[in-house]
């Protein structure tokens, strides 16, 4: 007899209990500490592969594991996305030079739980436009976080982000989203960074959910393409600048808790 056809049920977003929230906090805390370490390395004259090597060693030395290494055959421990690279830049012999903007995205597995965050660094003096893009993307992340309130719709996050980006005349990447996170790297719910469309997700942000917000803003078109030479590197279609910031957020009964806040990095309200 043939098994009845079943629609694959939509995977439910896990709601984490207090003991699990402590695991998530520990993962976020370590990942943020790692970002503060990255901050001491990044600058003009540094090769992106050297940042990656040091992240690998720091993570191992602390007894943890870089999540991207071997993830879907991704070859490195970080993503370093420079200038027109939107995300998933593979560290290589590229030397950071004054005027560049460079996003470093790091994800660590701590005791089986994931922390995920990224920052865009200004390398030396950058153009006013590059600075404004980075500032707007940073502010957009915090507006998205503020829109993430208990029992709000997931779509309020993207609405806040894109409305703000548009006012500054920047576009928002649509093909890559934030994501649920926990004992897996990427899980439900998806977190769009754009104003909701007709078929937008209906998910409600419930206390106990954990997810990333990671807007990518572009100076030109929102459209992107994947480099066919490595099948990873994502660039803007017009090769204009792109910036990104990311935090891991735990929804609590009292509002969003940022799990990946750094000690030495730009704090909410920072002026670049």
Residues 69-108: x where in contact with ligand MF3 by CB under 6 A, - otherwise, as a string: --xx-x----x--------x----------------x-x-
Radius of gyration from C-alpha coordinates of the chain: 18
Query: CA–CA separation, 72 vs 204, rounded Å?
Result: 29
- Residues in 147-186 at the binding interface with ligand MF3, rule: CB under 6 A: none
Alpha-carbon span 203 to 158, nearest angstrom: 13
Supply the minimum distance, in Å, between the C-beta of residue 213 and Co ion. Answer: 9
CB of 226 to Co ion, least distance (A): 17
- Output the smallest distance, CB 19 to ligand MF3, in A: 25
How far apart are CB 246 and Co ion at their closest, in Å?
A: 5
The total of other beta-carbon atoms located within 10 Å of residue 49's CB is 17
The entry of Co ion, ligand MF3, none that residue 79 binds, CB within 5 to 8 Å by partner kind: ligand MF3
Binding of residue 119 to Co ion (CB under 5 A): no
77-106 mask for Co ion (x: CB under 5 A)? Answer: ----------------------------x-
What contacts 12, CB < 8 A, 6 or more positions away? 188
Nearer to Co ion, 83 or 212 (CB): 212
CA dihedral 115, 210, 184, 50 (to 10 degrees): -20
Tokens coding 265: 């990095």
Alpha-carbon distance of 81 to 247, in angstroms, equals 17
Check if the beta carbon of residue 212 is closer than 8 Å to that of residue 181.
yes
Burial 160-181 (b: 16+ CB within 10 A, else e): bbbebbeeeebbbbbebbbbbb
CB of 116 to Co ion, least distance (A): 4
Say whether residue 52 binds ligand MF3 (CB under 6 A): no
Q: Is 126 or 251 the residue whose CB approaches ligand MF3 more closely?
A: 251
CA distance 186 to 193: 16
Per CB under 5 A, the list member of 83, 171, 212, 262 interacting with Co ion is 212
What minimum distance in Å lies between the beta carbon of 76 and ligand MF3? Answer: 7
Q: Where along the sequence are the contacts to Co ion (CB under 5 A)?
A: 105, 116, 118, 212, 246
Q: Where along the sequence are the contacts to ligand MF3 (CB under 6 A)?
A: 68, 71-72, 74, 79, 88, 105, 107, 116, 212, 214, 246
């Amino acid at each position: 007899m043939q098994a009845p056809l079943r629609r694959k049920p939509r995977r439910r977003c896990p709601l984490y209990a207090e003991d699990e929230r402590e695991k998530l906090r520990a993962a976020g805390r370590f990942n943020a500490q790692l970002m503060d370490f990255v901050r001491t390395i990044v600058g003009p004259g540094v090769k992106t592969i050297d940042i990656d090597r040091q992240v690998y060693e720091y993570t191992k030395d602390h007894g943890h594991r870089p999540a991207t290494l071997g993830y879907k055959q991704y070859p490195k421990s970080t993503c370093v996305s420079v200038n027109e690279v939107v995300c998933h830049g593979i560290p290589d012999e590229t030397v950071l030079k004054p005027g560049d903007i460079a996003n470093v995205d790091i994800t660590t597995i701590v005791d089986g739980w994931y922390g995920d965050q990224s920052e865009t660094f200004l390398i030396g003096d950058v153009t006013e436009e590059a600075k404004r893009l980075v500032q707007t993307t940073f502010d957009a992340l915090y507006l998205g976080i503020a829109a993430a309130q208990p029992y709000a719709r997931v779509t309020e996050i993207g609405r806040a982000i894109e409305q703000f980006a548009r006012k500054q005349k920047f576009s928002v990447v649509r093909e890559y989203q934030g994501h649920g996170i926990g004992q897996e790297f990427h899980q439900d719910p998806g977190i769009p960074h754009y104003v909701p469309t007709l078929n937008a997700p209906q998910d409600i942000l419930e206390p106990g959910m954990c997810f990333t917000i990671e807007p990518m803003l572009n100076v030109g078109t929102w459209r992107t393409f994947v480099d066919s030479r490595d099948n990873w590197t994502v660039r803007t279609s017009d090769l204009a600048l792109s910036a990104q910031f990311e935090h891991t957020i735990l929804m609590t009964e009292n509002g969003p808790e940022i799990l990946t806040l750094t000690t030495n990095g730009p704090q909410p309200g920072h002026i670049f």
